[in-house]
Structure formats: structure tokens, C-alpha cells
Amino acid sequence: MSAATDLAFELLGFGAPECTPACELVCLEKSVAPTSILKIDEEKQQVFGVVLDVCTAHSCTPDSQNDIMAPAEVSKAAHGFMIGLQKGIASIDIDHERPADASVIETMIAPIDFEIGDPPQLVRKGSWYMGVQIYDDELWRSVRDGERTAFSIGGRAERHPA
């Protein structure tokens, strides 16, 4: 990730029992991979997309670091992150450095495969899907102009052979 292009959702106080999954932060970044921002609502200044794509026996797409996430790990990361937001130990940051004027407005583990966006793109069952409301005009401009095109996570994890 480039520090100049990150919007981070950072779990502060990582390590509390209710916030033990591997996800410490989620970034909105410039991506060289196919975009994970699947829908932009320009009128409302909202973006929607996949934070973590699930890896199953039938389908598996590695992330930009060539990592894959099993369904249980995707859920653990998403739920821990949202618990952190609700408890006030998580915040939305820009470049992992300063608060952003933005809010998580939707989040779910996809219960089924579905398509969203124009052109339609697949969100696979078990993937972590999120919507973000952006209030800051400069941050919104960077999303609208395609400078920030993907969600990605950051945090602590152990690597295991797939």
C-alpha cells in the first residue's frame, strides 16, 4: 500500500478479548488488481465493495500480497472490526495517520453469491462486503477520480501453507 493512497479503518487497542481477529485495519487504496470497489454512489458520496474475498474449495482469488482467507478467518476479521467500531476502539483514518470524515454504513458476510455495480461484478458467498459514507470533499474527490479503487486489510497474522 502506498501511504499517499490509504484510507484506513484502524482497530485501536487491538488485543482486547472481543477484538482478537487478525484484522487491525482496512484501507481504501489504489490497486493494481481488479478493483474491489464495486459501486460508487456519486450523489450520496458512498462506496461499496469487498474488503476480504473468501477462499473456498471451489473458488480462490489471492489478494495483492498473494494471501488467501478461509471463511472462518474472513468472519473473524469482519466481526472483530465491527465490534471495535461499536466499542469506540476503532476509527477511520486516512493514510493510517489522521482521522477521516467517513463512516461505515453497511457491512456483512455475503450470505449468497450476488452481483453489484455497473458493469455487474460478483461478490462471493462468505466474502466481507462493506459500504462507506465519505463526508470529506477531498477524500471523496480521490475516490470519484479513481485514485482510491480498492479495500484491503492490514494487521497481524500467521502465514500457513494453503
3-state secondary structure 69-111: ECHHHHHHHHHHHHHHHHCCCEEEEECCCEECCEEEEEEEECC
Residue 161 forms part of a structural domain: no
**For the chain, percent of residues with pLDDT exceeding 70:** 67
Asked whether the predicted pLDDT for residue 152 surpasses 90, the reply is no
Residue 132 forms part of a structural domain: yes
Residue 66 forms part of a structural domain: yes
Asked whether the predicted pLDDT for residue 138 surpasses 50, the reply is yes
**pLDDT confidence tier of residue 154, bands split at 50, 70 and 90:** low
For residues 146 and 36, the model is more confident at 146
Residue 81 forms part of a structural domain: yes
One-letter amino acid for residue 150 of the chain: A
For residues 132 and 98, the model is more confident at 132
The β-bridge relationship of strands 46-52 and 121-123 is unpaired
Domain, as residue range, for 129: 3-154
**Which residue in this structure is represented by grid cell 454512489?**
41
- The tally of domains found in the chain comes to 1
Does residue 120 sit in helix, strand or coil?
coil
Residue 45 forms part of a structural domain: yes
Residue 162 forms part of a structural domain: no
